[in-house]
Structure 1
Amino acid sequence: MDCNKVSDFVYPLSDKPAKFEYKLVNQNGKLAEVPLHKEYQRLSLFEEKQPFCQQEVTAECLESTDRTVAAEHTHENSRKRNAGDDDSAERDSMISCEDITSSDTDSNTQVSASSRVHSYRTNGLLHPPTKKRLTSGYDSIGSASFQVESPGSMSTAIVPGVNSNMSTVDVSDNGRDMMANMQSQVSTSHSLGEGINDNNNNNNNINSNQTGNLVRDQLRRPKTPNTMNSPSQTPVSDMEEDPIQQLPLPSPSASPIQSDHENDDDVSSETPRRMGQRLNLEMIESHMASIPSTQAELINTIKHLSQFLSPQNQNHLIFRLLQKTNRSSLSTFNGLLHDSLKRDLLGNLPIEIAMKVLSYLDADTLLSISEVCKKWFKIINNTALWANLLKRDKLITDENVIKYELSDTTELLSEWCTLPDDINPAQVLYKKRRMIVNRWLDPKFKPKRISVKGHGNKVVTCLQHDEEKIVTGVDDKYILIYSTQTGQLTKVLEGHDGGVWAMKYYKNTLVTGSTDRSVRIWNMATGKCTHVFRGHTSTIRCLDIITPSVIGKDAHGEDIVFPEHPLLITGSRDHNIHVWRLPILQEDAVDEVTFDSGESENPYLIAVLTGHTQSVRSLSGYGNIIISGSYDSTVRIWDLLDNGRCKHILQGHQDRVYSTAIDFDRKVCFSGSMDSTINIWNFETGELLKVLEGHSSLVGLLALVDGVLVSAAADASLRIWDPATGDLRSKLRGHAAAITCFEHDGLKVVSGSEKMLKLWDAQRGEFARNLLDDVTGGIWQVRIDYKRCVAAVQRVNSADEGETYIEILDFSEVPNFQS
């Protein structure tokens, strides 16, 4: 490369002029920045016309001057524009710019040449005027006349800007000396208030026309504020008139101050308004009666007089004082204000309100803010708060379960808590339940698995489990009970002569229905059949247990509980429904004699509900209401408080009804049919509220839990619905064959079909994981609780025969925090 060759490269924008120019404004750092000034202007000083009791000081004496100067200034600008004087307009613009960018000095004691109140100063101390009436409280172009009494003499200063009606006043020798001295100090300033006549003539007179000319001259001059350094560091004598600090003044209104002697002859006729004016004037006079001799007294006088200002002008006074404060002091004030404005938004609230506020937060947020301080930790470490969160997040929705879990927390705290002993057990319970739910939905987590072989090649028709036992019914007339913890077979219940197709237990009492047309009651602790109920003439296809529940309030506001004792309802292919009183069996019962009775002499039989014309396929009961679905394509509503009378026959399905669900609180029920639809009914009125469409085949399964309605169909899909509106929330697709079983708890859905057992996130409506990957046959039944999934599955062996297993998946393993 030739280094001597001149480069043809042209640097971009090299000849372009700079568009922006940096200019340091307000080097001293005082409170005069343009943005802050504009922001402060929003604290408007413009006030409505008020009586003196609210706005004690007026600016009426400034009004005429302001209007005159403004008019003449406008007329002058108009004359120059008409004459084509562009230079003049440009100078005006430059002056305005200089006004905006001007700044204060570092001196703590400054005197602006535009000050309009010239007071007598001795030893660095300002003496306020003692004139009986204040005629101006605003910092404006015009200035008022004040009388200043000094020891031994009386002098009056005439301030420029006063209208022509104000009289000329003589100034004594001492006063002239003082005025001349002050005028010499500010002679270099070109502020609006400049114009004090320095003529030493004892009969010095300034008329209003001369004053107006001086004011107009000053409007055309650039302003350059000067400072007066005071070694005594005393308060500033006058308010500066730097344009950047001068805020817009309110339009003066008619002064409420009238003659002091008006209506003296008739004091009793004073109006409240005039009385307030007079009292305020008297209070001001009392505060100004004595001349402050120290700075402390001066500060005290200013403090008392400031109470007569309106709120807007109190802000104005504070702002003006802050304008004269250096950066170091402003920094100190900022820290004090910041600390004083701090509020404990949570700790200062009543505990009831604090709990209400915290109830809207999620667990992660609560844990974060509990680390703010000990007080917040104590508030958040509350049993009621975390119990409510357990219910809101659907981790535990039953109040009784929460009470049971918290009744003995020794094991809970030792296994699931690593924090000090003062942590609330309800918070640890929430942590435990949330961790277990997260494990369910985490594909990487491997639950503890137990596989139990026990039924041969028989089909498991029904399944139920709890913390201690797993109970299964099959189509070969046996009922088997396994240990939930180990999977070991503990009992085999024999007695039925046909396959078991319906089963449910309550506490220690197990109820089974069979193809032998009988209903049997078993003591699960002993494995003995205690009762045999006969009366149905065909297979018991479905059953339900109704436990005592609150169904309303009586006239005295007391809870109405029904039924008084648990009831058993059974549905059969004989078209009928039987209602029985359920025997409650004790675990320690021995040598029980089996009760076996027919329908006519059975004391446990309460009612026989007839009306369906085909097989009863589904039953759902709560309180006094029974919902039945039948192959006759109808849904019937039965009221046990009305002797089991059929209240409504719900007709709307076009084919067999296979599934039902009830929402007692909202007085609605749901039914799924072979016509691939789901109907929502009002069981109080019998009205069909809505038809849910979307499935393309038999809707054989329905489940409503904690405000979540899930349907499963033979079209290999599941759907999640909003039971209140009927809106479809999610479609769950992934199975390759008809759904044979499913269960959900509002947070998660487990569904089974041929060779598949899948888990879904019910809140998001998404597929989470496959729970079993080695299933080679069908999934007969599946049941879940918060910690376990129990499924009856079929595997094909080497002889190409199916073999049934019970699979137990446990997600509740105690965490090893040390690792």
Structure 2
Amino acid sequence: MSSNNLPQEYPLRNVQARFDYKLFNPNGKLSDSWLQNQYQRLSIQTTDVPLGQLPLAQLPLPLPIPSSRDSRNRKRIRNGREFPGEEGYEKESTDSGDEMLISDTDSNSQISNQGGFNSRDNSLAHPPKRRLTTSALSDISSNNLSFNQDQTTIDIQRQTNSDHNIITTGQLPRTPNVMNSPSHTPVSDFEEEQPQQLPLPSPSASPVQSVDTKTPVYDQVENQIIRIPNTQNEFLDTLIKLSGYLNERNQTHLVYKLLQNVNRSSLSSLNCLIHNSLKRDLISNFPLEITLQILSYLDHKTLLSISSVCKSWSEIINNNSIWIGLLKRDKFITDEKIIHQELSNSKELIKEWGSTTSGVKINLAETLYKKRYTIYKRWMNPTYQPKRISVPVTGHGSKVVTCLQHDDDKIVTGVDDKSIIIYSTKTGELLRVLDGHEGGVWALKYTGNTLVTGSTDRTVRVWNIKTGKCTHVFRGHTSTIRCLDIIHPAIIGKDLNGDDIIFPQFPLLVTGSRDHNINVWKLPICNEDEDDNDIDENIEERVFDSNEADNPYLITVLSGHTDSVRSVSGYGNIIISGSYDSTVRVWDLLNNGQCRYVLKGHQHKVYSTAIDFSSKTCFSGSMDSNINIWNFETGKLLKTLEGHSSLVGLLNLQDGVLVSAAADTTLRIWDPKTGESLTKLKGHTGAITCFEHDGFRVVSGSDRMLKLWDVKDGKCTRDLLTDVTGNIWQVRIDYKRCVAAVQRLADDDENETFIEILDFSEPYHKNNDNDNNNNNNNT
């Protein structure tokens, strides 16, 4: 049967072998041809270096006299006679009296692997001491060496005048490599780059020392072999010590030669030993600073996994700085003050979110990361049901909630029927009702214990939240206060001395009105440290009430707009205002409130603005469906963001993410630096009435819908409320809660306004069963 007709069950019959190996001897030692060729390439281009050009610390060691089993014809010298079969050694005098102890080893020795010391009593022999004159260090030759037993030294004479020429010209002798069989490998050179004439260093610089011709002094190498080994252990100890005088290349060669004489079983054991020796514990062996830098690129799951490998890794990863850096990198907490505040309350943090494993050292920063990450995953888990509190807006029926703000303790709402209502965030309990305005409240903002409100009654009022008392009434606007902002002191640049420029020096209040003007006030701060027990609500405090003319808190009036001011955004010394006159104006408070630029580019009313002080840019949304990006330092229009098909009534810039909401039922996520449209959020069936985002999630409200979106993928994660029957008036979020003002059917089947509190921050240990039921294994 021909090879072409072979059955299909032998598909590799005609495939040529890729590797070749054979048993070199009956003892089962392996000789791989391909490995031999690779080793040959390492030395094929090397050059034999004269011993005189080597650093003394790298001179070759004395080798034993070759045995009679050497394949080359040499003369053996024993007891003063020459024996055939080994080369003879000759002695010649030199011009210089300086001599050095050195071996007679040729750099390309062809001694057989089976060769060794000549037999003497215990089968071990000590090679005779030899000397090499310094004048002959550079022209050593293996063809005219002689051994003199009486002198017990070896003197090497220059061969011919041509040898001297080789030294002076820098040409190096080259000894042919023997590669006729796998048992012969080239002996590598000692150095690839050598000076032509190397001066001898001082005796203290090298183990090889110069000696006097009359009083021989043994160098360190001679001291290692002066005593004849009597046992194999002593012989091995001597070899180990002598191997330290070889350079790295020749040490590799020595190991290679030894491994050639090892059987397969021993090679297998050595393979495991070498493999394990090559393993390195980088995490523990690196300096701590480098280790922490490497670990900072890992996510929390990887860190927790590798902390379980061993105790040393666990101790390194149990480091506050790693987890604080992870909190900032993942944007769970970016403010150092908030991190410090949460870590300072360690008892509560450990009690609610700490590990329950006994004997485990609790890391506070890791526990804080676990808390924030767990809460975030609850938001994004559609099956998780947050704690819900519904509070009816008592006495207001279905009135519109025009503005809302909240924190961990309180929820402050403004309603279009003159009142400001404050609720407890944790329980929903009604805390206070602030009365004083004579018209609907359309703007509010608070900082600390100080609340500011603007109303259709054309006044601005300042309140003490703890006492519920109005402390100041600012008059001056001639129409409804439609928008306001509080500007806190901030670093806005450097002065000529390199010091920080901080502006303003105290908090400022900016109010925009339908009277076309913007007023800037010094904000009176209420006492932050006042204890609730010290408050006597029966004491009537005098209210500061003044008009524009004699009000010491009024700093300046910014005039220029020709229509209602709909939006104001401030930071540092810059105020950005948007108006129904289709323009955006830039005001500089450092320049007495002068208008820097009138930014023209919109075709219709401007409803919303945002500012990014660090990049010197501002954003404006208009009824013309566009969003403009401006450079407020130059007044230039940088880019127009197109995509919406109706009024862009809301803008929010947070953590490098710009989100817009429009009356076309959609929201869009933009890159504020490039203006690229990242995602379009579709799902609402009516105009977006309110939204807020924190860089992770977007919560948006429209008629009968309150939706949660994931910023990363732009997908709707869940409907937060499913029983809304009317409008969503306002919504605000933080990492713990979502607070919304909504309309839904009451007991009398009429729409009523409710404050809905959705809490995702129930402590882990209290909610462990609920989390497990919702498949929310977060850590």
Quote how far apart the aligned CAs of 1:357 are.
2.2
What one-letter code is carried by the residue in structure 2 that aligns with 1:53?
Answer: L
Q: Does 1:125 align with 2:62?
A: no
Q: In the alignment, does 2:583 pair up with 1:634?
A: yes
TM-score normalised by structure 1 residue count: 0.72
When normalised by structure 2's length, the TM-score is 0.76
Mean CA deviation greater in 432-441 or 756-765: 756-765
Verify: 1:411 aligned to 2:348, yes or no: yes
Within a 5 Å distance, the mapping from 1:78-477 to structure 2 comes to: 120-122=118-120, 123-125=122-124, 127-128=126-127, 243-247=181-185, 272-273=197-198, 275=200, 287=221, 293-294=228-229, 302=239, 306=243, 309-327=246-264, 329-330=266-267, 333-334=270-271, 337=274, 340-417=277-354, 418-419=356-357, 420=359, 422-454=361-393, 455-477=396-418
Question: Deviations along 1:562-582, whole A, 9 cap, x unmatched?
Answer: 222211110011111111111
Q: Residue 767 of structure 1 aligns with which residue?
A: 716
| Matching residue of 2:475 | 534
Structure 2 match to 1:67: none
Q: 1:642 to 1:773 in 2, by over 3 A?
A: same
Query: Alignment partner of 2:321: what SS?
Result: helix
Tell me whether 1:521 sits opposite 2:462 in the alignment.
yes
Change (3 A) 1:793 1:152: closer
Matched, 1:547 2:488: yes
Amino acid at match of 1:462: C
Task: State the shift of 1:789 in Å.
Answer: 0.4
Aligned equivalent of 2:85 = none
Residues 690-699 or 347-356, more deviating: 347-356
Aligned length: 662
Structure 1 residue 358, shift from structure 2 partner = 2.0
How far apart in 2 are the matches of 1:607 and 1:719? 37
Question: Closer, same or farther in 2 for the Cα pair 1:685/1:113, shift >3 Å?
Answer: closer
- State how far apart, in whole Å, the 1-side matches of 2:435 and 2:756 are: 23
Deviates more, 1:350-359 or 1:40-49: 40-49
Contact 1:359 1:389 in 2 (8 A): yes
Q: Can you give the 5+ residue segments of structure 1 that lack an aligned partner in the other structure?
A: 1-9, 59-111, 135-141, 156-164, 166-214, 220-239, 258-270
Distance of 1:16 and 1:560 partners within structure 2: 80
Summarize the Cα distance change of 1:256–1:562 in structure 2 as closer, same or farther, 3 Å threshold: closer
Summarize deviations over 1:239-258 as a string: whole Å, max 9, x none: x988234345779999999x
User: 1:331 and 1:277, CA in 2 relative to 1: closer, same or farther beyond 3 A?
Assistant: farther
> Is the 2:190–2:249 contact (alpha carbons within 8 Å) kept by the matching residues of 1?
no
Shift of 1:461: 0.9
Q: Distance in 1 between matches of 2:112 and 2:322?
A: 64
**Is the 1:382–1:424 contact (alpha carbons within 8 Å) kept by the matching residues of 2?**
yes
- Partner Cα separation in structure 1 for residue 297 and residue 619 of structure 2: 32
| Secondary structure at the counterpart of residue 502 of structure 1 | strand
Distance 1:626 1:14, change over 3 A: closer
Aligned partner of 2:649 in structure 1 is 700
Distance 2:260 2:722 in 1: 77
Tell me if structure 2 keeps the 8 A contact 1:752–1:782: yes
One-letter code aligned to 1:435: T
Match of 1:198 in 2: none
2:622 is aligned with 1:673? yes
Q: Give, in whole Å, the separation in 2 of the partners of 1:720 and 1:595.
A: 44
Write the distance in 2 (CA, Å) between the matches of 1:761 and 1:16: 55
Which segment drifts farther, 375-384 or 510-519? Answer: 375-384
Aligned partner of 1:787 among 736, 745, 763:
736
Compared with structure 1, are the counterparts of its residues 481 and 277 closer, same or farther at alpha carbon in structure 2 (3 Å cutoff)?
A: closer
Task: Report deviation, 1:781.
Answer: 0.7
Q: How does 1:540-579 map to 2 (within 5 A)?
A: 540-579=481-520
Distance in 1 of aligned mates of 2:9 and 2:762: 70
In structure 2, relative to structure 1, the CA distance for the partners of 1:781 and 1:41 (3 Å cut) is farther
Residue 332 of structure 1 and its aligned partner are, at CA, apart by 5.6
Give the Cα separation in 1 of the matches to 2:444 and 2:193: 94
Q: Is the 8 A contact 1:498 1:515 kept in 2?
A: yes
- Give 2:441's aligned residue: 500
Q: Is the 8 A contact 1:624 1:641 kept in 2?
A: yes
Does residue 607 of structure 1 match 2:532?
no
Match of 1:47 in 2: 46
SS at match of 2:284: coil
Aligned to 2:604: 655
* Secondary structure in structure 1 of the residue aligned to 2:473: strand
Cα distance in 2 between the residues matched to 1:347 and 1:488: 54
Q: For residues 14 and 660 of structure 1, what CA distance do their matches in structure 2 show? A: 77
Counterparts of 2:347 and 2:152, CA distance in 1: 92
Moved more, 21-30 or 604-613: 21-30
Deviations 1:503-548 (CA, angstroms, capped at 9, x unpaired): 1111111111111111111122222222111100111010011122
Greater displacement, 394-403 / 341-350: 341-350
TM-fit CA distance, 1:373: 2.7
- Would the alpha carbon gap of residues 254 and 45 (structure 1) be closer, same or farther in structure 2, given more than 3 Å must change? closer
Would you say the 8 A contact 1:121–1:127 is kept in 2? no
Q: State the partner residue of 2:678.
A: 729
Amino acid at match of 1:682: N
Bigger drift between 411-420 and 575-584 goes to 411-420
Query: Please, which moves more after superposition, 27-36 or 806-815?
Result: 27-36
Aligned AA (1:513): G
In structure 2, do the counterparts of structure 1 residues 143 and 152 end up closer, same or farther at CA, with 3 Å as the change threshold? Answer: closer
Q: Which moved more, 1:638-647 or 1:351-360?
A: 351-360
Stretches of structure 2 lacking an aligned partner (at least 5 in a row): 1-5, 62-109, 134-140, 155-161, 163-175, 212-217, 770-779
One-letter amino acid of the structure 2 residue matched with residue 293 of structure 1: I
Deviations 1:137-160 (A, max 9, x none): xxxxx99686567899999xxxxx
Label 1:478 to 1:299 Cα distance change in 2 as closer, same or farther (>3 A): same
Describe the shift of the 1:304–1:23 C-alpha distance in structure 2 as closer, same or farther (beyond 3 A).
closer
Q: Which amino acid aligns with 1:362?
A: D
Cα distance, 1:254–1:608 mapped onto 2, change above 3 Å: closer
Offset, 1:355 = 2.4
Structure-2 change in CA distance of 1:687 and 1:283 (3 Å): farther
CA contact (8 A) 1:120 1:150 kept: no
In 2 relative to 1, CA 14–761 (structure 1 residues): closer, same or farther, beyond 3 Å? closer
Partner amino acid for 1:472?
Answer: T
Q: SS of 2:678's equivalent?
A: strand
Number of the residue aligned with 1:746 = 695
Alpha-carbon distance in structure 2 between the residues aligned to 1:42 and 1:452: 84
Superimposed CA distance per residue, residues 702-729 of structure 1 (whole angstroms, 9 cap, x where no aligned partner): 1111111111111211111222222222
Q: Is the 8 A contact 1:625 1:638 kept in 2?
A: yes
In 2, the alpha carbon distance for the partners of 1:649 and 1:399 equals 37
Deviates more, 1:768-777 or 1:272-281: 272-281
2:566 and 2:499 map into 1 onto residues whose CA distance is: 36
**2:599 touches 2:635 (CA, 8 Å); kept in 1?**
yes
C-alpha separation between the residues in 2 aligned to 1:662 and 1:534? 28
SS in 1 for 2:376: helix
| 8 A Cα contact 1:653 1:675, kept in partner | yes
For residue 740 of structure 1, what is the amino acid of its counterpart? T
Partners of 1:398 and 1:153 in 2: how far apart? 82
Three-state SS of the structure 2 residue aligned to 1:496 is coil
- 1:555 & 1:595 partners in 2: Cα distance? 41
State how far apart, in whole Å, the 2-side matches of 1:153 and 1:596 are. 117
* Partner Cα separation in structure 2 for residue 438 and residue 253 of structure 1: 63
- The structure with the largest alpha-carbon Rg is 1
Conservation of the 8 A alpha-carbon contact between 2:22 and 2:30: no
1:624 aligns with 2:561: no
* d(CA) in 2 for partners of 1:429, 1:733: 34
Counterpart secondary structure, 2:560:
coil
Structure 1, residues 750-775: CA drift from partner, whole Å, max 9, x if none? 01111111111112322211111121
Calculate the aligned-residue CA RMSD, in Å: 4.1
Partner of 1:365, secondary structure, is helix
Deviations 1:178-216 (A, max 9, x none): xxxxxxxxxxxxxxxxxxxxxxxxxxxxxxxxxxxxx9x
Tell me: CA distance 1:147–1:379, structure 2 relative to 1, closer, same or farther (3 Å): same
Contact 1:731–1:765 under 8 Å retained in 2: yes
